[in-house]
A and B are shown apart, each in its own frame.
Chain A
Amino acid sequence: MNEIIDAYSTPGTERETCLTATELLKLMDSAGIHRAVVAPEDREIAVNNTSGNDRILRMAGQSSGRLIPACTANPWLGRSACQELRRSAAAGARMLVLAPALQGFCFGDELPAELLAASAELRVPVYVHSGPHSFGSPTQLLLAAAEHPGARFILGHCGSTDYAADMPAVLASAPDNVWFELSLVRPWAAAAYAKAGHRDRLIFGSSAPRNCPAFELRMLDALLPVQDYPDIFGGNFAALLAEVQS
């Protein structure tokens, strides 16, 4: 059995992300997921970067390697955002999460340039949440990816819902440094992306606890069998992580 990796989950403490590490591990067990990325929750992404990163690093440190820590840094913090990324990466963070709507910038503008340069240097992939509408659209990410060829980007949610119409064109013209994460993408759309020839760029993610990993995986499996697409369900993401400098 190939390893299934869930590229995004938010074991948080408030609002709709409440989930302990123990509960997350239980959800993973019931879904057959071996490892999962754990990312800071909304408040931590917006304002409490450092304490959020520390919480996640601690949680991952106690998981016998099953939880992969992601970190965040608000680009408005400028130099200190870069320092926070370097500090977190040195402590084990394997992915940088940006959420333009929560952090207050439009993806594609120059604000995160230094942070993206730092992520390129560390080979830490940058997960960018798409939506809501004006912030983090797939096309904004494509412009930024061309501008920062050394950085590696993961488009979270593939622009679901309202940018789904852009996705065939976006997938077809995406530069080599962009991957696409599938949480919130509906199973029939995910299957269409894979069958249009883009399986090497697609990455499974659940966004637990916003979604139930076992349910999403079961629905996906019906259209995109896990055993036929080991790359999408783990391989592509594992290859990205393998390059992160530690």
Chain B
Amino acid sequence: MIVDCHTHWADCFQSRDGLDPSRWLADEARHGVTHALVLPYLGLLDDRLLRQENDDLAAVCAASAGRMIPFCTVNPFRKVEAVAEFRRAIEVLKMRGLKIHPWLQGVSINSDAMDELCEMAGHWKMPVLFHDGTPCYSLPSQAAMLARRHPKTTMVLGHCGLFEHWREAIAAMRGAENLWGCLCGPHLAALSEIVRRCDCQRLLWGSDFGFSFADVAGYRLGLLQSLRLNDSDYERITAENPKRLLGPVFSN
């Protein structure tokens, strides 16, 4: 079992395949990926599209025989709508978490609405995954402050700081016990340092596959394997931690 904890369902797939995930899944399966946490794409760019995209993403994942686990998005800039859509996504669409891309969505990680969404997520035990590594809205330290304010909510740095803020991501995860990190973006030496210095029980692996047709999972899984982790750490990062993060949603 390998769970890719950072993927997207982008419009390029939907225009080619409709709501059928089989070709998307086949691309991932070629690299041994068995399950994926799937994040939105268009809705992060345009909040007029996010409701429809949440519907579509739920439908795509429902057709995946349990292999794709959908996260919704909402735009905290419009608090009332955001809270209502989050509720709908969880209660009606049965989505399993929330993705926020503060930089693309134009809202700071630290805002009123974000606080309310995080409380809801904590209540439902749904993780909140952030894009991170980009100022001025998406720094790991900003996510750490939010995580400290909401200790019952599990939050995930979707990129562990990318190339430039990975040291900050290490500090952020060390400074907030409910903050996890997805190894998706930093270079090899940074990944190795993150694994060495952070709590391995809170690390995930992700490829960012699905933005386009580019075959990115092979590259990023290759990077993870280049770390030459011992078997138990590799197993934790690729399977055990995702299971703990997402709860009993895996069908096989």
List of A residues within 8 angstroms of B135 by Cβ: 132-134
Instruction: Say which one of A81-89, A211-219, A231-239 lies at the interface with B.
Output: A211-219
The answer to whether A131 and B134 touch across the interface, beta carbons within 8 angstroms, is: no
The answer to whether A186 and B219 touch across the interface, beta carbons within 8 angstroms, is: yes
**A168-B119 Cα distance, complex, nearest whole Å:** 42
**A218-B111 Cα distance, complex, nearest whole Å:** 44
A226 within 8 A of B: no
Distance between A206 CB and nearest chain B CB, rounded to angstroms: 10
The answer to whether B219 and A219 touch across the interface, beta carbons within 8 angstroms, is: yes
The answer to whether B222 and A210 touch across the interface, beta carbons within 8 angstroms, is: no
A25 within 8 A of B: no
Contacts of B204-252 to chain A: CB distance below 8 A? 212, 214-216, 218-219, 222-223, 226
**A207-B186 Cα distance, complex, nearest whole Å:** 13
**A161-B131 Cα distance, complex, nearest whole Å:** 13
Contacts of A173-192 to chain B: CB distance below 8 A? 184, 186-188
Partner of B189, one of A131, A160, A210, A215: A210
**A162-B219 Cα distance, complex, nearest whole Å:** 19
B24 within 8 A of A: no
A16 within 8 A of B: yes
The answer to whether A207 and B187 touch across the interface, beta carbons within 8 angstroms, is: yes
Nearest neighbor of B187 in chain A, beta-carbon distance:
A210
Partner of B215, one of A16, A17, A188: A188
The answer to whether B164 and A133 touch across the interface, beta carbons within 8 angstroms, is: yes
**A197-B215 Cα distance, complex, nearest whole Å:** 22
B163 within 8 A of A: yes
Nearest neighbor of B166 in chain A, beta-carbon distance:
A16
Chain A CB count within 10 A is highest, among B216, B218, B219, for B219
**A16-B163 Cα distance, complex, nearest whole Å:** 12
Nearest neighbor of A134 in chain B, beta-carbon distance:
B135
B188 within 8 A of A: yes
**Given A160-B163, A188-B215, CB of A209 within 8 Å of CB of B189:** yes
List of A residues within 8 angstroms of B218 by Cβ: 219
Distance between B182 CB and nearest chain A CB, rounded to angstroms: 15
The answer to whether B187 and A184 touch across the interface, beta carbons within 8 angstroms, is: yes
**Given A131-B163, A132-B164, A161-B163, CB of A212 within 8 Å of CB of B188:** yes
Main secondary structure of the interface of A (DSSP, over half): loop
The answer to whether B216 and A184 touch across the interface, beta carbons within 8 angstroms, is: no
List of A residues within 8 angstroms of B222 by Cβ: 215, 219
Nearest neighbor of A101 in chain B, beta-carbon distance:
B164
List of B residues within 8 angstroms of A162 by Cβ: 133-134, 162
List of B residues within 8 angstroms of A133 by Cβ: 134-135, 164
B17 within 8 A of A: no
Distance between B68 CB and nearest chain A CB, rounded to angstroms: 22
**A157-B187 Cα distance, complex, nearest whole Å:** 12
The answer to whether A215 and B190 touch across the interface, beta carbons within 8 angstroms, is: no
B8 within 8 A of A: no
The answer to whether B187 and A188 touch across the interface, beta carbons within 8 angstroms, is: no
The answer to whether A188 and B214 touch across the interface, beta carbons within 8 angstroms, is: yes
B55 within 8 A of A: no
List of A residues within 8 angstroms of B190 by Cβ: 16, 210
**Given A17-B189, A184-B187, A207-B187, CB of A215 within 8 Å of CB of B163:** no
The answer to whether B216 and A186 touch across the interface, beta carbons within 8 angstroms, is: yes
List of B residues within 8 angstroms of A211 by Cβ: 187-189
List of A residues within 8 angstroms of B133 by Cβ: 161-162
B185 within 8 A of A: yes
Distance between B106 CB and nearest chain A CB, rounded to angstroms: 15
Partner of B164, one of A131, A212, A215: A131
Nearest neighbor of A157 in chain B, beta-carbon distance:
B163
List of A residues within 8 angstroms of B185 by Cβ: 161
List of A residues within 8 angstroms of B226 by Cβ: 212, 215
Question: Which residues of A come within 8 Å of B, CB atoms?
Answer: 16-17, 131-134, 157, 160-162, 184, 186-188, 207, 209-212, 215, 219
21 contacts between A and B (CB under 8 A): A16-B189, A16-B192, A17-B189, A131-B164, A132-B165, A133-B134, A133-B135, A133-B164, A134-B135, A161-B185, A162-B162, A186-B216, A187-B219, A188-B215, A188-B216, A210-B187, A210-B188, A210-B190, A211-B188, A211-B189, A215-B222
For the complex of A and B, the 3 pairs showing the least CB-CB separation, nearest first, are A16-B189, A132-B164, A188-B214
Q: A132-B164, A209-B188 are in contact. List 10 more A-B contacts (CB 8 A).
A: A131-B164, A132-B135, A160-B163, A162-B134, A187-B219, A188-B214, A188-B215, A210-B189, A215-B226, A219-B222
